[in-house]
Amino acid sequence: MFRNRLKAQWAEGRPAINGWLSIGNPFTAEIMAAQGYDSVTIDAQHGALDYASVLPMLQAMRASGVTPMVRVPWREPGAIMKALDAGAQGIICPMVNSAAEAAEFVSYLRYPPDGQRSFGPTRAAFAYGSYGTAANDEVLALAMIETQQGVDNLEAIAATPGIDGIYIGPADLTLGTQMGALPPGFDREEDVMVTLIRRILAACKANGIRACIHCGTPDYAAKAIGWGFDLTTVGGDSRFLAAAAGASVARWRELTGAAPAAATKGAY
């Protein structure tokens, strides 16, 4: 039976850094997983990928020893169960707005009698050896609170049996609670958003569950760890690729003095 290393790390009181995959490619997943992350999440909600990409990406990450997780597109049982059967050890679920929705989400991750997950761990059984109802205690259920309704029901969601943590996506949380007054984005510094983020953190601590947040920079992530967060995601594959490529090109143009070629309208 597999043991979730991320859960063990948290039990020892150590915070975690999570990687993020939006590019549907196993080589990219393998490269990211080899960089020292504690966990790596495949974004099947907004990422440029589907289940046909998720499975080989999970396979590619196996050698690194990271805890593999998947953010599913929605609170839909088929997508959740299939990700778990493929080998995901944690599921991040978007748009959880009530205790009833949180309980429904949890039920899809647990085999009876703890839930309603269907049995058929096609790849998980090969990847982890003995795989049965003991998996109920190892897979992680991380709910995303992203709307005003979710915030209004925060305490009830955090108290839902079986919820292992809350994952904050600051962009949607801003959109969902500030009614257009603030643009979406990571690393919130506005008093209203910092207060809200820390309120979610406090609800997690009060209920003995984990607090997780998506960050844009290591500096903000370190600040969040200082507040008491248990897991911070810092950037992701597509942003890292764009940033490194852009910096390389900019430096080359600086050193050579070569201007970029003028774009030709309608060339393609």
- Catalytic residue numbers, as ranges: 46
Cβ(9)–Cβ(39) below 8 Å: no
| Identity at 7, one-letter amino acid code | K
Q: Which helix (H) or strand (E) holds 249?
A: helix 237-256
Cβ(80)–Cβ(72) below 8 Å: yes
β-sheet bridge partners, residue 210: 165
Q: How far apart are CA 81 and CA 99, in angstroms?
A: 20
Among candidate residues 92, 93, 89, 27, the one with its CA nearest the CA of residue 61 = 27
Q: Residue holding tokens 């998720």? A: 54
**Which parts of 129-169 fold into alpha helices (H)?**
148-152, 154-158
- Rg for the chain, CA atoms, rounded: 19
Q: How far apart are CA 236 and CA 219, in angstroms?
A: 15
Q: How far apart are CA 163 and CA 156, in angstroms?
A: 11
* Torsion angles phi and psi, residue 42, rounded to 5: -90, 125
Q: How far apart are CA 88 and CA 72, in angstroms?
A: 11
